[in-house]
A and B are shown apart, each in its own frame.
Chain A
Amino acid sequence: MTTPAPSTNTATGADTAAEPSAVSRALKDALKTALLVIGLGTPIILIQTHQSGAGVTLEWRFGLLASLAALAFASRLLWLLFIGPRIAARPATSITDKVPPATRVWIKRAALVFVLLYPFIALGLAGKGGAIKWIDNFGIQLLIYVMLGWGLNIVVGLAGLLDLGYVAFYAVGAYSSALLAKTVGLSFWLCLPMAGILAAFWGILLGFPVLRLRGDYLAIVTLAFGEIIRLVLINWVDFTGGYAGISGIPRPTFFGLPFNTSDNGFAAFFGIPFSPLHRLIFLFYLALALALLTNYVTIKLRQLPIGRAWEALREDEIACRSLGIDTVTTKLTAFATGAMFGGFAGAFFAARQGFISPESFIFMESAVILAIVVLGGMGSQIGVAIAAVVMIGGTELLRELDWLKEIFGPSFDPTQYRMLLFGLAMVVMMVWKPRGLISTRAPSISLGEAKAISGSFVKEGHG
């Protein structure tokens, strides 16, 4: 029991609980954890630096480090004596395994109905002022991530090609749509398909040189491509505006009706008072439609020869080649299809924000999208959606925790812990469920009743 990890050794925790010396052992272990926290926190937590002019002053924070160590001690003790043994005693089936298929279908339908009614539920519960946040931050933003997750799922989950530069296609979609709208003057409804086509073209362009690469190397090269595209966007100032980005991107219209106070606007046409909520609700349904389109196309493609070729490629590339499947076409179509949906998402993002800059397309975004796909369970559509809601929605919720200021003082800002907790959650979820939240996969074809297969039978691909 020397492991300092608070979340790893559940089995040993159960063993020691049975013995008489369990408490003293747990105390000793917790003490070690506390000492470790002190060791790690010296000096990075203990001494805070403050830049003042040219010099730096030091501030000692013994209290903070001591309370962190005490917290570590208490939570480790609690884990070893109470939570750990209880988890170890529970059978290792996940919740999703217990749900019968018929109920599952109903759960999915209920979820769909909920999402369809979501803006009005938000309006009803939060009122007109409060609903903006719920529709925009939790609705539209989540749907963009769900869509990006589903798009990347085609590349990573179905074809087994590890892509760490997916944000490049998101950026291509956003910039091409913004530039087409600004310089050529195309409407959003023309920009959207154009952005998808251009992103797919870039998917093929970037996919072509990496056909021979596999595994981590593919991941790193795609990361490099993603960064190169971002750096070009920053430095090619004449074309992209550099760091300043592109602003004043035309907003999407409702069949030619703009969402403004003018006489030919949406509100005037339908004879209702103008409200900024109209555009938000419209954007919400647009994002939902695009996300559902991604989902529908993915489900249909899985049943077509190309989709089966993707999955075959993921399972065994050499067997694929010996069966006469053209791996070049298979890989390139996977890249192109995934990139196309990334491009759609980018075009939508540009139209929703009205402003884009390279800051939105950093590597962190690629990492977040890949994390959503892997945490959801690669290849599982519903899993990706759940992971997006949990990870993005969960960190968004931190913005709502202003009441914590009453406890920790006015300088406490919960939002600065957003990405810190996101990173920690990635680690914890991987350690807890390496195969993702949804542990079953739907077979693409079956004789008679379709039975879900365990995710651990599904390979992760070589690419």
Chain B
Amino acid sequence: MDYLLQQLINGLTLGSIYGLIAIGYTMVYGIIGMINFSHGDVFMLSTFIALIVFLFISSLFGALPLALALVLVLIAGMALTSLWSFVIERVAYRPLRGSFRLAPLISAIGMSIFLSNFVQVVQGPNNRSVPPMLQGYVTVPLGDGSFTIAYKQMLIFLVTVVLLGAFWFLVQKTSLGRAMRACEQDRKMASLLGIDVDRTISLTFVLGAALAAVAGVMYLVQYNVVNFADGFVPGVKAFTAAVLGGIGSLPGAVLGGLLIGLIETIWSAYFSIDYKDVAAFSILAIVLIFMPSGILGRPDVEKV
């Protein structure tokens, strides 16, 4: 029982990270119907930016309180990753809007290859690590056993919940959010009603990248190590999460992320750690084949 609870907590931590990345996929897919293949690599880029900014800050100020350092890293990481995503959208996707369907997909795959190799060239192919931060944990007694919640897990939950709340507010209550939802429902109608569709799409990419950057910082806090090749697999898993939750649905992306995190952790704990990625990919295939609209998504009606 305590072992299961421990795995649940670990799974939810991992799932929060997936959920944050998944939002970027689901928003972009909702608005322009494109799988943003490079999103996983944007996430990877953000882990590197977070690492460098963190090291820079700690070399500059020495013993800065960790909380302040993390806030600074978060802000810098979100800003810089958003800039990257903004430029990527302008250069690689916008010229292809309205072009045939495969062109943006190929362009996105090309961008993904470019980003991972770019980071490899400028930062080197080996792992980069930071000293572990926030090492303490709370032990919760339970019956005759106990389980632990690490401080960093609490931090990841907290940041995820706060940022999701802020993001939820942005999408539901602000005019930008209204414009995004309008573009998602009907892009042409939205533009007729005076919404700047290009600007809205740009902002969607920027917001998705900002949340991916949050996931990147949390990833660094949790694992302390980054590598240029670590964009593809988290990217595909986050996409699985978006599909599982119902692509286009924001709460669905978070729910899907948590579920994928839980399934992966439980699978590794009880079955086989070697096949944990097979589990994630199988879920992706099964969900797409048997319930393509996901848990919270709208069914896709085909017009003749």
Q: Which residue numbers of A lie inside 8 Å of B, CB to CB?
A: 3-8, 36, 39-40, 42-45, 47-51, 54-56, 58, 162, 209-210, 212-213, 215-217, 219-221, 223-225, 227-228, 231-232, 234-235, 318, 363-364, 367, 370-371, 374-375, 378, 416-417, 419-420, 422-427, 430-431, 434-435, 460
Contact = CB atoms under 8 A, between A and B. Distances in A.
The secondary-structure label for the interface of chain A is helix
Nearest to A432: B95
Contacts of A219: 35, 105
Given A43-B53, A44-B123, A431 B92 contact: yes
B149 interface: no
A427 B84 contact: no
A45 B80 CA distance: 12
Contacts of A434: 96, 99-100, 103
Contact of A235 (B56, B95, B102, B274): B274
A215 B49 CA distance: 34
B282 A49 contact: no
A291 to B, nearest CB: 23
Nearest to A418: B117
Given A47-B52, A51-B124, 5 more contacts: A219-B35, A225-B281, A234-B274, A374-B106, A416-B120
A430 B107 contact: yes
Q: 6 closest A-B pairs (Cβ-Cβ)?
A: A426-B110, A423-B113, A423-B114, A434-B103, A420-B117, A224-B281
B289 to A, nearest CB: 5
Contacts of A371: 106, 109-110
A227 B232 CA distance: 11
A55 B59 CA distance: 12
Looking at B53, B128, B288, which has the most chain A CB atoms within 10 Å of its CB?
B288
A63 to B, nearest CB: 14
Interface in B231-285: 232, 236, 239, 243, 274-275, 277-278, 281-282, 284-285
B131 interface: yes
B300 to A, nearest CB: 9
B95 A224 contact: no
A212 B302 CA distance: 12
B294 to A, nearest CB: 11
A45 B103 contact: no
Interface residues of B, number: 68
Contacts of B218: none
Contact of B49 (A43, A58, A225, A423): A43
A231 B55 contact: no
Contacts of B104: 430
B119 interface: yes
Contacts of B138: none
29 contacts: A4-B87, A5-B95, A6-B91, A8-B94, A43-B80, A44-B48, A44-B49, A45-B122, A47-B56, A49-B124, A51-B124, A56-B51, A56-B55, A216-B35, A220-B35, A224-B285, A227-B281, A231-B281, A235-B274, A378-B102, A420-B114, A420-B117, A420-B120, A423-B112, A423-B115, A430-B92, A430-B96, A430-B107, A434-B103
Given A47-B56, A220-B288, A227 B236 contact: yes
B274 A44 contact: no
A211 B72 CA distance: 49
Q: Which of A56, A416, A427 has the most CB of B within 10 A?
A: A427
Contacts of B282: 224, 228
Contact of A221 (B96, B109, B126, B288): B288
B213 interface: no
B90 interface: yes
A228 B278 contact: yes
Given A54-B129, A58-B55, A426 B35 contact: no
Given A8-B94, A430-B96, A213 B292 contact: yes
Nearest to A217: B288
B134 interface: no
A414 to B, nearest CB: 11
B70 interface: no
B106 A375 contact: yes
B289 A209 contact: yes
B110 A430 contact: yes
Contact of B232 (A363, A422, A423): A363
A419 B101 CA distance: 24
Contacts of B304: 318
Nearest to B114: A423
Contacts of B90: 3-5, 8
B110 A423 contact: yes
Nearest to A211: B289
B146 interface: no
B45 interface: yes
B174 to A, nearest CB: 24
A44 B92 contact: no
Contact of A51 (B111, B128, B285): B128
B158 to A, nearest CB: 26
B272 to A, nearest CB: 8
Contacts of A378: 102
B106 A370 contact: yes
Contact of A364 (B105, B113, B120): B113
A427 B89 CA distance: 11
A224 B9 CA distance: 27
B59 A58 contact: yes
A215 B101 contact: yes
Nearest to A232: B278
Given A8-B91, A223-B236, A371-B106, A43 B114 contact: no
Contacts of B95: 5, 8, 431
A435 B84 CA distance: 27
A440 B48 CA distance: 44
Contact of A213 (B48, B53, B101, B289): B289
A423 B110 CA distance: 4
Nearest to B103: A434
Interface in B173-227: none
Interface string B46-75: 001101110110010000000000000000
B31 to A, nearest CB: 14
B284 A40 contact: no
Nearest to B233: A227
Contact of B107 (A44, A232, A426): A426
Contacts of A431: 91-92, 95-96, 107
B113 to A, nearest CB: 3
A28 B15 CA distance: 45
Interface string B30-47: 000111000000000100
Name the residue among B119, B274, B282 with the largest chain A CB count within 10 angstroms: B274
